[in-house]
Amino acid sequence: MELVNTLVSRSTSEHVVKFLGEGGEAVSVTMATGDQVREDAEIIEKAKQMLVQIVAFDQPDVGTAAPEESEAGVYTFEYQDHGVVRIMPGISLPSRQAVQDEVKRSAEDLWKDALDKLEAPVGWAVRARDSHGEVVATCSYEDIQLREP
């Protein structure tokens, strides 16, 4: 798809970035807004990062891994910010390792946002549940602090 335009639409609960291609193709990325006001350029960049991750997860040799690592599934991600839990169901990932990686990356993003606002949140930041509701991955703000140089 040859990109010809990018549109950002906002609401109180979500931002939608629509990438428009030549010939009428379009790809939309929907993100929860959170409580931080972001510029269009930052929202577009975040949407691009999400798309890159989707492409990275599309690996043709996923079936050759050990069964417990190759189980694709649909997960519900929970994000905790200021005691408010945002729930994002229906996230499809190819393996438990991909789930753990996304939980860690998302927690790091929340931590960076908190630092930008001169905050130091505590407790769990992001966790993922499988289709049975069992928590399969979690990352706390303390985990992120321990990794910082």
- CA geometry: angle 140, 142, 143, nearest 5 deg: 65
Same-domain status, 74 and 146: yes
Q: What total number of domains does the chain contain?
A: 2
Give me the pLDDT at residue 63, please.
45
Same-domain status, 101 and 54: no
Q: How far is CA 61 from CA 51, 58, 70, 95, 137, in A?
A: 20, 9, 9, 12, 23
Same-domain status, 86 and 105: yes
Same-domain status, 73 and 53: no
Q: Name the nearest CA neighbour of 76 among 68, 88, 93.
A: 88
Look up tokens 């839990």; give the residue.
Answer: 85
* Mean pLDDT calculated for residue range 132-141: 91
Domain span at residue 82 reads: 66-149
Q: Which of 59, 78, 104 is the last residue of a domain?
A: 59
Same-domain status, 55 and 103: no
- Total-model pTM: 0.52
Look up tokens 């931080």; give the residue.
Answer: 36
Give me the pLDDT at residue 70, please.
46
Same-domain status, 82 and 115: yes
Q: Name the nearest CA neighbour of 67 among 96, 93, 44.
A: 96
Same-domain status, 2 and 51: yes
Same-domain status, 26 and 96: no
Residue 31 structure tokens: 């993100």
- pLDDT band per the 50, 70, 90 thresholds, residue 71: low
Chain segment 103-135, per-residue pLDDT in tens? 999 888 888 888 888 887 888 889 999 988 899
Same-domain status, 48 and 93: no
Number of H helices, E strands in the chain: 4, 7
Same-domain status, 5 and 31: yes
Chain segment 83-109, per-residue pLDDT in tens? 778 888 888 888 899 999 999 998 888
- Cα–Cα distance between 64 and 90 in angstroms, integer? 25
Same-domain status, 15 and 55: yes
Same-domain status, 50 and 107: no
